[in-house]
Structure 1
Amino acid sequence: MKFELIATSDDSRARAGVLTTGHGKIETPIFMPVGTAGSVKGIHTRDIAEDIQAQIILGNTYHLYLRPGIQVIESAGGLHKFNRWEGPILTDSGGDQGF
């Protein structure tokens, strides 16, 4: 993974850059749809990339663990195939929700 700074603001601490991952590039700042239980609700994966032009999606590993579960994701070939999403995926642990 690599981050390249593209621009900074003279008036604030704002900045823009490009984060390069093994699954693609993400221009920052970025809008990131959340797929808590493994999928973004109410929109087809194709539309996330084409219409919203999202470059990354977010998933919650605690919710994924509960449902659909590890075996379902593994049998699909991993989270990218389960989501039918080829781009980058960020996951958070969801550890704060386990208590």
Structure 2
Amino acid sequence: MNPDKPALIMADTEEMITYAQLEERSLRLANYMRSIGFEKGDHLAVMAENRIEIAEALWAALRTGGVITMVNTHFTTAEAAYSINDCDAKVLIVSTGADKSADLA
């Protein structure tokens, strides 16, 4: 695998990330998650529209042995809060496009 080749290309924007960038960014996020106490078996909840950064977060969670819960951005605040609380998320990532439910946890 060539680290300079595209790992992901967003269909709507043509934004691209290489394998090397995905490796570096997901490793940096995984290290940060570990530094704040995220451990194997912990849950990461992600509430965001489709973006490259979501792949970075998913790879980071997998690197730590974490469990990923995707929260639908079309959920009501109550539905999103239920999903996040039900999975007992230790870390929550919310994009600015999905921040209408930022008060949910």
Q: Is the structural similarity TM-score above 0.5?
A: no
- The structure with the greater share of residues assigned to helix is 2
- TM-score w.r.t. length of structure 1: 0.29
- The structure with the greater share of residues assigned to strand is 1
Larger radius of gyration: 1
- TM-score w.r.t. length of structure 2: 0.28
